[in-house]
Chain A
């Protein structure tokens, strides 16, 4: 698996970091282009709006339909655009996937043409009269506003987002990845243009490539196609902290059939922390897998839930437990969670479950190699955390974790906020 590490290249003249992984394993070439922007309340909506407006047209393809059709001609080259949140960074994300020529009817080489399109969208947008086309701006504002409103449609995601909002009130992490409606509505064409110029001139570009084109070739294309940018900012990893305050409990009602429980914890541990591997094991023991404590107790033994799982947000240092339960079974479920937590803190951990968890984590880390986007996702997290850790090191650290390490780390993880989306009477 040593062969599956990225090589890193910095191109200061274009403000670009290239992470390159050469492989013949996949039938496609995948390129992810990330611009990390600091998560700030005033700018979050404009940050989120920007890539969607850019994707509507470039100077070469001013009409959206023509742009899309060009991608379709390139054998359905997939160009996806989105905005994500990792820790307190908002990430503009363009992902390009082209089929390798050996799988095309005439062995066409389509990657360079696809890269041109991506370059055009980011650096050479359609700007009639020096500004974005009004129709594109209006349409994308409306669509993004609908996205924000429609968070409510996915009750599990909504409840998790609300838990984070309550938990991190006043911290940038509480900001939704698409910002908020009010700020979005106020954005004018002039403001977005101004914002675009700032991002264009100052935000670093992180390019992640997995496929069968050499790094030299890609660097050559970048130097040829991408504009000079010498004043980009550098990014710093987020710090982590555990606020000293009593546990917060928030219950919100909705007309739904099943209650959505989310408990947010502060771990005080991020990827730089020496306890990171231990935290992964602790999370796995608690509810990371179907063999985990909470899945066994809450679902298999008591039949209280269909889903119950825990997750780690490794950049901000958070952990969450999520479950779908009947409204009247909240107390019973919480008792089980508290009870199992206490057992782990007291070191009541079976060797068997520790070994299952380590194996499962090891397996998860290994199979990352089988998926280009997974490989890129892990490298991206490393990049924004300024880490160069490889998976083998992490696997070795996981192997060394012992019961008392897990107990110690879990005793320091602090329950912060309980958010329950409770079924209203009319619901069932």
Chain B
């Protein structure tokens, strides 16, 4: 075997912790025009109950996302977009279940862009008027997602699977939940979750690391930083059973969409185990339902699925789910057939040849993804939070055996932990 560590070492980042606590990683990747940076706060949509300095705080649904929008205003009420545009850069942001990320890409003025990114994310400016206007914009964003049947079938499924866990909430919240967001709440969240100690920065491209580090150090010396707040995110008591076995929603669309979901209880607490679980589920999904599986073209040629049919896992330490589905004219029949595949595999076990093929496929896909600076930097931030490195993915992938996958099948892919979500055209 080739020593991949050596091959990937070329792309190993330089890590740095600034004196105020900001963590950063820098890669010099010669030959790229684009220079890209991403700054992440750990405040995501599922952080709705936290303990800060021993005090329990409730955060309304959609607050992380609202704060993301609000940070884009500057001191004068102007838009951060314009400042990036003046530097020839473009910026964006997104909120996920577990964090909020701010990013830009540019071909020039990297140091100025970094100053701008850090300045706007680390300083919150707002007025009651600007908050009211942003509520209108976000209401439109919520409406836009409401018109996506794929989004609805997925969030309906999460609402079926979970009683309490906030992963069941829409990332943007609801028109009602964002209604109660005010300046005090946003200020509290910003002081707490955007403290330098809680932020992670990654900068990548054809860059001079030393110069950039100096420039960031100067920037950070100007930033406000109070006491480091002690935070613990609280997960609600979540029963292991599912809340609802099935949901159907009518929607103006062509063909029904069905998702069968399994609630994965008892997620690993250790990062390496969590990574192994993610990869194991990805392999299992591919072996059982990928285009190279016996099931795929059988179901396809019987008219039960189309080429959008897919399976996959997503999870963090406090939640996990495995979802199978896609567009289908026969949702019930498809569910039965999926269970037959699961039962058959439980009996017959996983063929090591299938595992090897799936492993090669995931390997290739992972390497291909690393062509993108955005993917590299995003992967770093995710790994950093978990205390992992890029090469851990390859070594974890190597270690997985058929019995790992068989264990997942037996322990988790059981009918009692499953739920069905269907979105269908009006009858």
What is the interface of chain A, defined by CB distance below 8 A to chain B? 1, 25-28, 64-65, 68-69, 71-78, 97-99, 102-107, 135, 139, 142-143, 146-147, 149-155, 254-258, 260, 289-291, 295-296, 299-300, 302-307, 324-326, 352, 355-356, 359-360, 362-363, 366-367, 369-372
B292 in contact with A68 (CB, 8 Å):
yes
The one of A73, A153, A303, A363 in contact with B253, judged by C-beta atoms closer than 8 angstroms, is: A153
Contact (Cβ within 8 A) B106 A363: yes
Q: Which residues from A are CB-within-8-Å of B84?
A: 291
The reply to whether A72 and B367 contact each other, CB–CB distance below 8 Å, is: no
Cα(A410)–Cα(B105), bound, Å: 29
Neighbour of A363 across the interface among B88, B362, B373, CB < 8 A: B88
The reply to whether A76 and B33 contact each other, CB–CB distance below 8 Å, is: no
Bound complex: CA A75 to CA B356 (Å): 10
A367 contacts B292, C-beta separation under 8 Å: no
Q: Taking the complex as formed, is B230 at the interface, i.e. its CB lies under 8 A from any CB of chain A?
A: no
CB distance from B21 to the nearest CB of A (A): 31
Sample of 13 A–B contacts (CB below 8 Å): A28-B367, A76-B362, A135-B301, A146-B255, A152-B253, A153-B150, A155-B147, A258-B140, A303-B137, A305-B140, A307-B144, A326-B140, A366-B33
Q: Say whether B143 contacts A150, CB under 8 Å.
A: no
Asked if B128 is an interface residue, CB under 8 A from chain A, the answer is: no
Q: Which residues of the other chain, B, contact A28 by a CB distance below 8 angstroms? A: 367-368, 371
A360 and B297 contact, Cβ closer than 8 Å, known pairs A146-B254, A153-B254, A371-B372: no
Known contacts A78-B368, A299-B137: does B306 contact A143 (CB below 8 Å)?
yes
- Inter-chain CA distance A154–B89, complex, in Å, is 30
Which residue on B lies nearest to A69, using beta carbons? B292
Contacts A150-B253, A370-B32: A75 and B88 contacting too (C-beta < 8 A)?
no
* A1-B33, A28-B371, A299-B137 known; A254-B252 Cβ under 8 A: yes
User: B31 and A25: CB pair below 8 A?
Assistant: yes
Task: Give the residue among A99, A295, A359 with the most B Cβ atoms within 10 A.
Answer: A359
Q: How many residue pairs at the A-B interface have CB separations less than 8 Å?
A: 196
Chain B residues positioned under 8 Å from A1 (CB to CB): 33
Does A306 lie within 8 Å of B147, measured CB to CB?
no
User: How far does the alpha carbon of A27 sit from the alpha carbon of B7 in the complex, in Å?
Assistant: 11
Q: Does B387 contact A (CB under 8 A)?
A: no
Inter-subunit contact B34/A367 (CB<8 Å): yes
Q: How far is the CA of A352 from the CA of B300 in the complex (A)?
A: 55
Q: Is B410 at the interface (CB under 8 A from chain A)?
A: no
Q: Which residue of B lies closest to A149 (CB)?
A: B254
Given known A290-B90, A299-B137, A324-B140, contact A75–B255 (CB-CB < 8 A): no
Q: How far is the CA of A304 from the CA of B141 in the complex (A)?
A: 10
Which listed residue (A71, A153, A291) contacts B82, Cβ 8 A? Answer: A291
Residues of B contacting A326 in the complex (Cβ-Cβ under 8 angstroms): 140, 143
B85 within 8 A of A: yes
The answer to whether B133 and A303 have CB atoms under 8 Å apart is yes
Known contacts A103-B367, A105-B363, A371-B372, then 18 further A-B pairs from the complex at CB < 8 Å, ordered by chain A residue:
A68-B291, A75-B364, A104-B2, A105-B4, A139-B301, A149-B255, A257-B147, A258-B146, A289-B90, A290-B85, A291-B82, A295-B81, A296-B79, A359-B85, A359-B86, A363-B107, A366-B34, A367-B34
B119 within 8 A of partner (CB): no
**Given A65-B294, A75-B364, A359-B85: A304 and B136 within 8 A (CB)?**
yes
What's the least CB distance linking A153 to chain B, in Å?
5
- Inter-chain contacts of B293 with A (CB < 8 A): 65
Of all chain B residues, which has the CB nearest A300? B79
Q: Considering the chains assembled together, what is the distance between the CA atoms of A64 and B297 in angstroms?
A: 7
Measured in the bound complex, the distance between the Cα atoms of B144 and A299 in whole Å is 14
- Contact (A105, B1) CB under 8 Å given A69-B292, A303-B137: yes
A355 to B294, CA, bound (A): 57
Quick check: is B44 within 8 A (CB to CB) of the other chain? no
B303 touches A139 (CB 8 A): yes
Q: Is there contact, CB below 8 Å, between B143 and A291?
A: no
B136 contacts across to A, CB distance below 8 A: 303-304
B17 at the interface (CB under 8 A from A): no
Q: Which of A143, A304, A370 lies at the interface centre, i.e. has the most chain B CB atoms within 10 A of its CB?
A: A370
Within 8 Å by CB of A150, from B7, B255, B373, lies B255
In the bound complex, how far is the Cα of B252 from the Cα of A149, in angstroms? 11
Residues of the B chain whose Cβ atoms lie less than 8 Å from the Cβ of A98: 364
